[in-house]
Amino acid sequence: MSLPDTPPTDLTIEAAEPSQFDLLARMNKELIEDEGHRNPMNIDELRRRFERFVNEEGYRVDVVRWRDEIVGFATYRQVPDNAESCGYHIHLRQFYISRDVRGCGLGRLAVESLMRTRFKVGERIFLNVLETNPGGRAFWTKAGFNPYDTTMERVVRG
């Protein structure tokens, strides 16, 4: 797919259909690889996880469509939060734009479209960026997100 010279305007955010979960699972595997995540799930396990997300865990899954092709996806849900006057915040768990269309503004446009069409004014959006993903950190900073906390880990050794 050739990239446009200017940021595209024909991008849409649509609710994912279960028939799209195979494609989204393949994209999710690329996301895991790109961000350096330690998740060992295979494509079939990731597809089943999308089904669980939607059917059991209260996530919404949206696809990013451009030029009549699915070029990305987002998963998110409301999480109880007593610090918010509305009683919740939004956890944006996954956001992905296909490797072959990165770098032309689709990601930023998709984030802005997601914010405008899926979330209400005043809602607080949280997401996590792995330390192994400095490109992701730079992307989210450019998209207007600010650091809020740091999660640290340690593996117990024998």
At residue 84, the pLDDT reads: 96
At residue 94, the pLDDT reads: 97
Q: How confident is the model at residue 1 (pLDDT cuts 50, 70, 90)?
A: low
Q: How many CB atoms lie within 10 A of CB 147?
A: 9
Give pTM, 2 decimals.
Answer: 0.90
What amino acid is encoded at 101 in this protein? V
Say how far apart CA 8 and CA 54 lie, in whole Å.
29
Q: Quick one: tokens of 32?
A: 């895991």
DSSP 8-state secondary structure symbol assigned to residue 18: G
What amino acid is encoded at 44 in this protein? D
105: closest CA among 151, 135, 61, 139?
139
At residue 2, the pLDDT reads: 54
Q: Write out pLDDT tens, residues 93-152.
A: 999 999 999 988 899 999 999 999 999 999 999 999 999 999 999 999 999 999 999 999
At residue 8, the pLDDT reads: 60
Annotation: CATH topology of 11-142: Aminopeptidase (3.40.630)
Say how far apart CA 33 and CA 19 lie, in whole Å.
23
Asked if residue 75 lies in contact with residue 61, where contact means CB atoms within 8 angstroms, the answer is yes
Q: Please compute the mean of the pLDDT values over residues 24-28 and round it to a whole number.
A: 97
Domains in the chain: boundaries: 11-142
CA 123 from chain centre, in angstroms, equals 17
Q: Write out pLDDT tens, residues 50-69.
A: 999 999 999 999 999 998 99
